Amino acid sequence: MHDRAPKKIFRCGRHSLRISLKKRSIKDSSSILDESHRIIYTATTQHWQHSEQNRWTMLNNYFTGNSILLLAWGSIFASTQSGKLLVLIALSLTGVLISILWLGLEIRAHGFVKMYATLGEQLEDDFKIETDTPFISAKIYRDTIAGLARFTTSGNIGMGIPTIFLILYIFLVMYSTFLIF
């Protein structure tokens, strides 16, 4: 059976979300439409919060893994055993690989946060919500931030930290390789 219900399309960058709004009858159509809006808005808000929380959890896990790698590299570097140079290079290359993978994960997580924030702003605008709303309020607050704080968004931090560690690990690979020669 083909669904011929009217569809509302919300665009978020390259993505779009089609929402089917079925009207049962003229009498109860506004209550169905209002209920659909409420459900969509609630789900969008929850996904936005969950995506932001996932981003910080991922960064915490990244810090834990890096702490272990850097502690191992430093301990082996300080040891007097022979044959440690290949292990230093292996640990450094592992750090490079993890940093590249984590940067990709953070970029992906940032895309989800941005997509849900954009969708939430569109929903708040389209549904003419009159109360203080999380998406529009957050946008208004972000627009008032000035100076250095303007660049310290969770997205910039989430993607910047793996980039800094990537540069550190590349330096450690070069330094470890230099020790061999």
> What's the pLDDT tens digit per position in 86-112?
999 999 999 999 999 999 999 999 999
Q: Is the dihedral of CA 103, 105, 107, 110 positive or negative?
A: negative
Per-residue b/e over 66-97, b at no fewer than 16 CB within 10 Å? beebbeebeebbeeeeeebbebbbebbeebbe
**Six-digit token pair at 62?**
């990244």
The amino acid that residue 95 corresponds to is: G
- Residue 37's CB: how many other CB atoms inside 10 A? 17
**What DSSP character marks residue 82?**
T
Q: Given this model, what pLDDT does residue 24 score?
A: 36
The amino acid that residue 123 corresponds to is: L
The H or E element containing residue 50 is helix 29-78
**What DSSP character marks residue 131?**
S
The beta strands (E) that lie in 24-83 are given as none
The H or E element containing residue 94 is helix 84-126
For the chain, list residues with pLDDT below 50: 1-10, 13, 15-33
**Six-digit token pair at 78?**
């300080």
Instruction: Give dist(CA 181, CA 176) in Å, integer.
Output: 9
Report helix, strand or coil for 41. helix
Per the rule left: phi > 0, alpha: psi between -120 and 50, beta: everything else, 12 is beta
Cβ atoms of 9 and 126 within 8 Å: the answer is: no
Q: Given this model, what pLDDT does residue 3 score?
A: 47
